[in-house]
Amino acid sequence: MATVSVIIPAYNEQQNIPQTIAAIPAARLRAAGYDVEILVVDNASTDETGRLAREHGARVLVQPVRGYGNAYRAGFANCVGDVIATGDADLTYPFEILPEAVHRLETDRLDFLTTDRLARLDPQSMTRSHIWGNHALSFVTRQLFAVPFRDSQSGMWIFRRHLLDRMRLRSGGMAFSQELKVEAYRSGFRCAEIPISYYPRGGETKNRTVVDGIGNLSQLIAARLRNGRRAPAHAAPGRPLLSATVPAAGTAAHADRHARD
């Protein structure tokens, strides 16, 4: 039986981590024939994130070196799944779509499935500067690397573990998200992008829009200078992205979770 590992990086998310774990549809994934691992990567939290994650059924890995990319790289190295799914610990991502997304990965014979938050964006879920920054970085990513992803910064991905053996992932920070997508596409894997709902964050935001934006842009430029704008390994330039659609499920359930806060 294949295993789906749901990896969640978390830094000081004691307010949100119980609901985040509860939102993962483990029973539906098991009913579809998968074992499920929920792995929370505690990225040097100073609150009770790790303890609460354990109490709510997750396996907890402590990554003392701060950084979004560092947390994910530690999670990837220590998870047990044949399929990896990801999302943040702040109630913004719709984990309820995972059974449909994993099914699409299998039925369409995909290797890497990423998500587009911008197509269905609730204006309350991001500040104007955050929205502008996401669109700008996604545009630059497409232009520099000839990738077709509409949302280069989304943090929800579903992919086969074996991809990690062929990707060169360097970033320890927020640029990890765009780096992963670029590497997946340019390494020749079958990729698709699906639109998702993206919800307002629970609790105080940790986004550093300007600092992270500059860091992400610097990573894009450095990667472009290092590797060039080479075509994907499996096709000539201009290969269209495979399309996929997963219904936006669970909006009401998400609203109910917030109502209980």
Which CATH number describes the domain made up of 3-259?
A: 3.90.550.10
* Range with lowest mean pLDDT among 43-47, 73-77, 170-174, 209-213: 209-213
* Confidence (pTM): 0.85
Long-range contacts of 123-130 (CB under 8 A, 24+ apart): 124/200, 125/92, 125/198, 125/199, 125/200, 125/201, 126/198, 127/207, 127/209, 129/209, 129/210, 130/207, 130/209
CA proximity to 200, closest of 141, 251, 139:
251
Confidence at 59, pLDDT banded by 50, 70, 90: very high
Average pLDDT, the chain: 86
What is the length of the chain?
A: 261
Q: Angle at which helices 176-186 and 128-145 pack, to 10 degrees?
A: 30
Q: What percentage of residues in the chain have a pLDDT greater than 70?
A: 78
Confidence tier at 250 by pLDDT (50, 70, 90): very low
**φ and ψ at 167, to 5 degrees?**
-105, 140
Q: Which of 119-123, 185-189, 216-220 has the lowest mean pLDDT?
A: 216-220
The pLDDT, as a whole number, for residue 237 is 34
